Structures are given as structure tokens and as C-alpha cells.
Amino acid sequence: MQKVITINLNGAAYQFDEDAFDTLRRYLDQARLRLKDNPDLAEIMTDLEQAIGEKCQKFLGAHKTVVSASEITQVLDEMGPVDGGEEPQSTDAGSQPGATPPLRDGDAPKRLYQISDGAIISGVCQGIAAYLNVDATLVRLVFVILAVVTKGGFALVYLVMMFVIPEASTSEEHAAAHGAPFNAKEIVDHATSKARSVADQALKNPKAFHADWRKQHRDFRRKWHRERRAWKREWRQSRRRARRWWGVPASAAPVAPPPVGYAAQVTAGVLVPVLSLASAAVFWIWAAAMMSLLATGAIFGRSLPSDLPMWAALLILALLFNMFAWPLHHARQASHAALGGRQRYGSVAAWDGMMGFGFWLLLGWAAYRYIPEVHQFFDNLPLVRDNLREVFGPLRR
Amino acid sequence: MASSERFSAIRKGLLEFVILKVVASDKVYVADMLARLSATEFTTQEGTLYPLLSKMRREGLVDYEWQESDAGPPRKYYRLTAKGQSQLAELNDYWNSLNTTLGQLER
């Protein structure tokens, strides 16, 4: 079974298998790249889309409405590689029409890249995930586990990879890295809002929480919502600017950087890697401390004061982490902005989202573990969910 | 097959000349051009033809007009411009002189 993607080829809608879509997108991306200096780029692309559409018609009928990967491969074989024109293309095994091997799924070279679009730290895990064709979350999980098992030693491996593996910046490099841009941000967003709704429900329990606390929470939530909305708008705008006809990743068409002095840019250029390293170091130290606390009840072999309960220790640890991480994030964000690194804004924000998510998760866990009312509430959660579904079910698209 | 591979550069150089000839004979749609050429040594594909036609149009050799088709959206029908016609005549002369030269060299 395959997901079907509806696309617009010069005004007519076609339905493509996911694989077929990827193949076509690669072909058109490559065509666009080769014709990038051609003044008639838009017109030729329209002609090509039209011709592809007509060729796809051959395969479609009343009972066959979706173009498959093998069919689009056949169509693109007929189309032939797009000729870039005068510029020497002799490197790719003779640019004679018909003699050049047609672009096929397996033909595109697959290379390991960092994919910064939607990355948590630098995009190493995303690049590896794209290369191995697995979920990026899985790779991240493996990295975190390995880092914990090796007592942080594996974090060094990540750092080395961060510097050694090149970053995918053009759409061709993105295609080489894998193809479809994987968007971790959406997952983080999704998880954050899910966790938040759970936390909301827990906090609505009037017995467990002081009214003052609730007000504080409401204010915070309002502020958070506002920030989130502004951030979403920003994200959508940058996406729109970057999008031509596909959802080209934002980094493929960088937004013009705001004018910044040369000295500021140099400073920012030095600061970004330093701050990134510091951020990563703080994160790994924190993660390792959490793990050691949960596993052994002591932080790096130093046991807790006897009158300090476990949940308080976890909370303090989280607060400490945020104390260090927040200024680092803001400094990093500012440096990115100075470099015109708008397209990487997403990764910084995603990191913040991830931290926020972790914080809520921790808070929820501590509440669940040590406050009986909350514990009770979580046990009743399936009931709450069913109720919510009844209320909100009709409202969803 | 081997010889056709080896002489691909010659065919590539001649493609514009060939297209001028095809377009000169009739108002043609890209699919017609491809069909006519597919029976010859000059088999080509959309990926090559569209960029070439757009280049020739920029140079003022060919032009197109939209015509309704019974199946699907309107199509671009190409024809030669005056400049294209004189270019074709020039190329024909040049080709003949090349042939003469080649014939003389054999002796």
C-alpha cells in the first residue's frame, strides 16, 4: 500500500504514488537546476510538465487513476534528460540525447549530508536517517542511548560528524541526501501540543493546585501561544518564499540576509559554532546527569542529600539545565540572525521546542509519580480522551 | 550501435539544422517532430527538444502559435520565421559545400 500524492502538472491534476512522486520531483529538480541560467526556464518547465502529463495519460483510465513508480520511470525515460544547453555537460558520460542514461530511482547518487532543515542540533541524525531511509527519531534515539551507554563518549562522535559531514544546501544535494525533506519540526510541534494538552488537563484539577499557580500557568500559556503563533507565521512565510512549485525545503532558497556589519558577521561566525558546541555540551551533560540520577539515584556518583526527594532533584536538574540553555539559545539565535541564517532559525526553535517538551514530560512524570491526585487523573485519562473526542470530534476537518 | 554512439557529437551538432528542416516543411507540434525524427538517426527526446526550441525562438529562428487540440489543452505549433528560413537556406548551402569538399578529399 502506498500513499498517493496529488500534483498539478501545468494545470491538470494527477495522482502519484509516493515513490513515483519522488522520482518525478528529482527529475524536475534536476531539470530546473540544469536550466537555471536559461531565460525561458519557466516556459520550458511548463512544456516539460505538460509533456509528462500527456505521457502519464497513457497509463491512466477509468479504473486506473494513480501513476506508479515504474510508469513514471518509463515516462521519464521517454522524456530523456533535460539538456542544459551550451555549458559543457560532457562530464556526465556524453550528453548526446538518448545516449545519456535516463534518470532512475537508483541512479541518483546517494550521499551522506547533514540536513539542517528541521534539525535538532545540526542535522547529522536527519542526514543519517535519510541515508538509511529510516525515521530520524529512531536515529536520534540510538544516538542518545549510545551517548548514555558510553558515558557521553559518543557525543564526541556526533561533534566530529557535525564538522566532517557536509551540509545539504542545494535542492540537488537534498535529493542526493534522500529526496523527500523530512520534517522533524512537525513531530516536535505535534508532541509538544499533545504533552501540553495532557498537562493542561492535569493542571485543571483544582484540588491539586493553588489558584495562584493556575493563574501563573494561564499567563505563561497565553504568552507561549503568542510566541508560537508569531513563530509559525514566520515559518510559514519563509516556506512560502522558498516554495516554487514543490515544497522545496526553506534552505534551498535562502532568504536575503538583513544587512549586518562585517565585524558583527565575523563575530557571529566565530560564536555560532562555539555556542552550538556549548549548547550541545550542556544538553549531553544534562542528559547524562538525568540518566545517572534515574539509574543509580546519584548524580555522577555523588549521592543526593538525604532530605532531598527524587522528584525535587529532577526538577532542580531541569531548572539548572534551562538556566544554562536559555541564554545560550538566545545568543545562538542572535548570532544566526547576524549571519543571515534565517533558514536555520527553524532548527534553533525546534531545539527550544524539544527542550520545552522534555521539561513538560519531566514535570508530568514527577507529578504522576509523587502527587496521588495526578496519578489518579492519568489513570482516568482514557475516559477523558473519549470525552474530548466526543466534544472536539465534529470540529476537526 | 557502436558507430551511432561514436558519431553522436556529429548528430548533436546537426540537430538544430534538422529541426529547421522539420519545422520548415509544415507547422508542427513537438510530438509530431519527435515522431518524425524517431524514424531517423536523429531520434531525440523532449528533454533535449524543448530547451533547443526555446533557444531557437530566442534567436528568432522559429516562432509558435497556440492551437486548440481535440484532446487536452491547446498546443504550441512551431513555424519558421523569415530569419529561420534564411538560416536554413544558408545551412543548406553550407552542407552542400561540405559535401563537395568531402567528395574532393576522397580523390
In tens digits, chain B (107 residues) has pLDDT values of 556 677 888 888 888 999 999 998 888 888 888 888 888 888 888 888 999 999 999 999 999 888 887 777 788 899 999 999 999 999 999 999 999 999 999 87
Residues in chain A: 397
**Closest chain A C-alpha to B75 CA, distance in angstroms:** 10
Q: Residues in chain A with pLDDT < 70?
A: 85-110, 169-217, 235-266, 337-353, 355-356, 359, 394-397
Instruction: Tell me the nearest-neighbour CA distance from A99 into chain B, angstroms.
Output: 7
As a whole number of angstroms, the distance between CA B61 and CA B79 comes to 9
Contact A99, A80 (CB under 8 A): no
Model confidence pLDDT, tens digit, residues A292-349:
887 777 777 777 777 777 777 877 888 888 888 777 877 777 777 666 554 445 566 6
Angle of helix A184-203 relative to helix A372-379, nearest 10 degrees, comes to 120
Which alpha helices (H) appear in chain A, and where do they start and end? 18-34, 41-57, 69-79, 124-132, 136-149, 153-164, 171-177, 184-203, 211-242, 262-296, 310-338, 345-370, 372-379, 381-392
3-state SS, residue A63: coil
DSSP string, A227-250: HHHHHHHHHHHHHHHH-SSS---G
Q: Rounded to whole angstroms, how far apart are CA atoms A73 and A79?
A: 10
pLDDT digits (tens, 9 = 90+) for A148-172: 877 777 777 887 777 777 777 665 5
pTM for the structure as a whole? 0.40
Q: Which residues contact A148 (CB under 8 A, 6 or more apart)?
A: A287, A288, A291
Residues of B numbered 24-83 whose beta carbons fall under 8 angstroms of chain A's beta carbons: which are they? Answer: 30-31, 43-48, 50-52, 54-55, 57-58, 72-73, 76
Q: Which residues of A touch B47 (CB under 8 A)?
A: 31, 48, 79-83, 97
Residue of A nearest to B43 (CA): A98
Task: ipTM value, please give it.
Answer: 0.83
Q: Give the whole-angstrom CA distance, residue B48 versus residue A296.
A: 67
Cβ separation of A96 and B30 shorter than 8 Å?
no
Q: Which residues of B touch A51 (CB under 8 A)?
A: 30-31, 46, 50
Shortest CA gap B46–chain A (Å) = 5
**Per the CB < 8 Å rule, is A96 touching B46?**
no
